Structure 1
Amino acid sequence: MAQVLEFKLPDLGEGLTEAEIVRWLVEVGDVVAVDQPVVEVETAKAMVDVPCPYGGVVTARFGAEGTELPVGAPLLTVAVGEPAEDGPADEAGPADSADGRGRSGATEGSGNVLVGYGTSEAPARRRRVRPSDAAPAKAATPAAPPAAPVANGHPRAAEPAAAPARTPGAADGPVPVISPLVRRLARQNGLDLREMTGSGPEGLILRADVEYALRAAAAQGRTGTTAGEPRTQRTTDAPAPAAGTPGVTRVPLKGIRGTVADKLSRSRTEIPDATCWVDADATELMRTRAAMNAAGGPKISVLALLARICTAALARFPELNSSVDTGAREIVQYADVHLGFAAQTDRGLVVPVVRDAHTRDAESLTAEFARLTEAARAGTLTPADLTGGTFTLNNYGVFGVDGSTPIVNHPEAAMLGVGRIVPKPWVHEGELAVRQVVQLSLTFDHRVCDGGTAGGFLRYVANCVEQPAVLLRTL
């Protein structure tokens, strides 16, 4: 007899709690090998191919492409071992059993899934919430059951019904909801799940039910909030255009874009930042780079030279290589420089991190910048590549702009911005001349230092740009 094993979305690390299904790599009925990638997902950090720890026949998939699943939700089921006499499971698979799972004995698989995240133990069983199992309001809410299975990317959920009036006693038990994502969607839009009847098995409330209720409310003019607004603002704030309004496009803030939005909002909310800037004559820096590249060997990038200058400046002004622990009311200074740099991709802005940048020379920095940039554009950066930075370098000059006021990359304490290097009139050695000029800007957390320290850091960076020989003191 074949054993049907359930493979759940693994913990992808770095505090990630959900992922979006980008592309299924297998179909129901396909034979998969141990550690074969079965689905491509996008987290808030990067694109990830998720390998299956089991070998066998895919009997069911959970979630269509574009669906967000929480960590621990079922991804697919695999029939392992000799097939049963009655043939493989139908498309509903083991999720149609009473406990939301199929038969499973001892787990047989690689135990890898992703590097560092094992599946050596059988997944815990998930108990479906039934109206008859309602517990007192103070009892813990049971875990949500697995999502409805799909065949070839199409959900099997029935057309949701309109929300009826609340039934007596509904407030005394838990609400049967398919996942935390559904709860969040309802909460953000001010919907009371206890006033809804789900279209899923045994009254389970699906995402489709919530979306249907929102559309119905919008059609009747009863929605007075935008996603994420408190319900108390309905009488004071004008409602945002509903989805489907002609000329209006709604773009979900999720994945990388959503993470960037959250970090920028948190930075603006928590960090009392200030910005200072200076124009610098980069003519000698560009000549130095040209001389280095003319000597043979790998080409040195301008960004690598600026990074080398940053690490030298942070050695002199370590206050800026830090973060603030608000809970402990302490400034945490770091001895090592893990240098982040802004990289634009088709999926949005990401900030890869060059580990131990203070130990690297210009050639090593150039190679690492190139590797991380290529991985960012390909969507193959790992969570480790995108976390742990202590200072960020933002070369927005590549977009053809002269200056900007960077937003600090929370929880870091500072960011150096670099504009484009362009010929400009400049007084050089007492005479007007055309020189290669760049604007440098430093945004810093005013809690970690005052303007004197920030100004000293920026002035040292400008001195190194104008006279690269200044760096010889720290080499």
Structure 2
Amino acid sequence: MAQVLEFKLPDLGEGLTEAEIVRWLVQVGDVVAVDQPVVEVETAKAMVEVPCPYGGVVTARFGEEGTELPVGAPLITVAVGSGTDGGEPGASEGSGNVLVGYGTSEAPARRRRVRPTAPAVPKAAAPAAPTAPAPTAVPAASDGPVPVISPLVRRLARENGLDLKELQGTGPQGLILRADVENALRAAVTEERPAPAPAPAAPATLSGTAGSSALTEGRRVPLKGVRGAVADKLSRSRREIPDATCWVDADATELMRARAAMNATGGPKISLLALLARICTAALARFPELNSAVDVAAKEIVQFDHVHLGFAAQTDRGLVVPVVRDAHARDAEGLTSEFARLTEAGRAGRLTPAELTGGTFTLNNYGVFGVDGSTPIINHPEAAMLGVGRIIPKPWVHEGELAVRQVVQLSLTFDHRVCDGGTAGGFLRYVADCVEQPAVLLRTL
């Protein structure tokens, strides 16, 4: 006799607590094999296909495309065992295999996730007409643990003095979501704030409508998924990091000639980004203060003995910053290959959370957009970012004479808590020296 098993959205790791259903890969009634991808979801880190650990017949799906589900919410149910085409012995145990960093087996016990047992109600099923919301479950045991979707939400409540036992969770089985905590905090601020004086009538806009209607018009783009995560990270960086920027123009003619000579010898072509990365790692070896992060809680600066180099890449889903692990230990060919692999994965939306986190320094080649300079926002929690503008012919004094040279503007945005301007200037000057005279790099090879 067939047994119906429920497969829930697995623990996605890296602090991820929810995912949006992008595309269903199976229909109700389809036969699936063990570890066959059944749904494509987008997290705050990447697009991933989620494999099902059971083989059998799909009997139900939970959530329409575009619906966000918390970790632990049901995805599908599968009929396994005798009487089903896809069932096989042991299918109900889960395969335990891993695909792009995600396991199909049950999450280990050490991960403190509250896993609801009732199907999550997809957002699309909510009634369009305004009705009073149904009462949600309140944690029954006043002295027991409160079901919260993630430790981050629990910490948010603790830091703002909010008692979770007084909240009504809107997640499955009363699960308290981040939105519940944020709504409670906003409500508390509103109650404390005195009633504002009547505002004067809003002036008419060019279209003849009141200014207050501006937010009700226009096309809305959801700020979620990868784009939402980037927005949150940039906002946090701007709030927490006292950044400063210095910049310098450099003659990149010799660097371009050196690259052309390398590529004329045969073998894999060396990218300009790889040469700039090699210069970065050499500079960080001389100025390790910039390869660091600030531990605010401990009031300490953490200097790293490795360089995990992030690089900004624009994709259809927004800006992503893939990370080249141990960039300091790679040569120009290895860096070129890894940049190409990560860039392609980013454009395809296949970067894993491990490939998007853990960076210690970022290289931002905004020259590909045809601009000379920029003051970028530091990739939190890193301490610095090197920016590279476009390389174009410009008048330049070379060996005492005016000449046309290939000139680039370099900028360094840094966390002023980790170093002063002298260190930042020394780093940037060394980078510029290597760009102008690539032979300087031979001292570190």
Q: TM-score, normalised by structure 1?
A: 0.75
SS at match of 1:107: helix
Q: Does 1:109 align with 2:94?
A: yes
Task: Pick closer, same or farther for the CA change 1:37–1:428 going to 2, 3 Å.
Answer: same
Distance 1:20 1:321 in 2: 34
- Spell out, residue by residue over 1:139-162, the C-alpha distance to the aligned partner (whole angstroms, 9 max, x if none): xxx975534568xxx966666662
Distance 1:113 1:234 in 2: 54
Opposite residue 315 of structure 2, the aligned amino acid is: T
| Pairing partner for 1:290 from 245, 248, 260 | 260
Partner of 1:162: 131
Opposite residue 300 of structure 1, the aligned amino acid is: I
Distance 2:107 2:279 in 1: 51
Distance 1:123 1:278 in 2: 51
Partner of 1:324: 294
Q: CA deviation at 1:429?
A: 1.2
Q: CA deviation at 1:251?
A: 1.9
Partner of 1:219: none
Partner of 1:248: 218
Q: Does 1:49 align with 2:45?
A: no
Q: TM-score, normalised by structure 2?
A: 0.80
| Pairing partner for 2:432 from 462, 466, 470 | 462
Task: Pick closer, same or farther for the CA change 1:119–1:286 going to 2, 3 Å.
Answer: closer
8 Å contact from structure 1 (residues 4, 78) kept in 2: yes
Distance 1:9 1:17 in 2: 10
SS at match of 1:434: strand
Distance 1:72 1:165 in 2: 22
Opposite residue 57 of structure 1, the aligned amino acid is: V
Opposite residue 403 of structure 1, the aligned amino acid is: G
Task: Pick closer, same or farther for the CA change 1:147–1:249 going to 2, 3 Å.
Answer: farther
SS at match of 2:244: strand
Distance 2:334 2:423 in 1: 29
* RMSD over aligned Cα atoms: 4.1
- Spell out, residue by residue over 1:54-85, the C-alpha distance to the aligned partner (whole angstroms, 9 max, x if none): 0011111111100111111111110111249x
Distance 1:117 1:346 in 2: 24
Distance 2:172 2:14 in 1: 34
Distance 1:112 1:37 in 2: 12
| Pairing partner for 1:146 from 106, 118, 132 | 118
Partner of 1:11: 11
Partner of 2:320: 350
- Spell out, residue by residue over 1:173-218, the C-alpha distance to the aligned partner (whole angstroms, 9 max, x if none): 79xxx9969xx9xx9xxxxxx999x9x999x99x9xx9xxxxxxxx
Q: Which runs of 4+ in 1 moved over 4 A?
A: 115-124, 142-145, 154-161, 170-174, 178-181, 227-230, 232-244
Distance 1:362 1:427 in 2: 30
Q: CA deviation at 1:249?
A: 2.4
Listed as ranges, the matches of 1:377-416 within 5 Å are 377-416=347-386
Opposite residue 132 of structure 2, the aligned amino acid is: A
Partner of 1:97: none
SS at match of 2:255: helix
Higher alpha-carbon deviation: 333-342 or 107-116:
107-116
Distance 2:74 2:438 in 1: 56
SS at match of 1:49: strand
Identity score, percent = 79
Task: Pick closer, same or farther for the CA change 1:297–1:106 going to 2, 3 Å.
Answer: closer
8 Å contact from structure 2 (residues 34, 91) kept in 1: no
Task: Pick closer, same or farther for the CA change 1:435–1:389 going to 2, 3 Å.
Answer: same
Higher alpha-carbon deviation: 111-120 or 311-320:
111-120
Q: CA deviation at 1:114?
A: 3.7
- Spell out, residue by residue over 1:340-367, the C-alpha distance to the aligned partner (whole angstroms, 9 max, x if none): 0000000000000111111111111111
